[in-house]
Homo-oligomer: A and B are copies of this chain.
Amino acid sequence: MTGEPRQMEELSRAESLRLLSTVSFGRVGFTIRGLQAIRPVNHLMEGGRVIIRTREWSDLVAVAGGGGATVAYQADEIDPDLHLGWSVIVRGRVQAVSDADEAARYRERLSTWAAGQRDHVLFIEPEFVSGIRLVEATASPAVE
């Protein structure tokens, strides 16, 4: 035992995607001109896809153009003091929602982060999904 109060449990793909659908925002990680970026965005889940809304000038739109690039998407619900909760990470290609009606429908359900800025609707097709849950350690000895 290390005296640490938490244990980490791996979550299934289905449970990870379900948890993702219970929160309204996360963070997208991507590379732009060879540099790492992380940007908080709002999301919703539909048809197994992560739908996000982002500002027009966003570097992400450049990434999503030209057939899309692979990004990472992460959301969590972690108690800031106890550090108990869950974290889910999705990796997949990001692309623009090209159908205008579909994009308009998503816009109604997804708020933007700030006023006065035009935005695009993008989706991430999850290829790799992983999730962990941090729970209080039980009395049984931890595997060393």
Contact = CB atoms under 8 A, between A and B. Distances in A.
Interface string A120-144: 0000000000000010010000111
Given A31-B31, A35-B91, A91-B35, A25 B116 contact: no
Interface of A: 1-8, 23-25, 27, 29-31, 35-40, 42, 70-74, 76, 78, 80, 83, 87, 89, 91, 111-117, 134, 137, 142-144
Contacts of A72: 29, 35-38
A115 B36 contact: no
Given A72-B29, A83-B42, A111 B36 contact: no
A37 B29 contact: yes
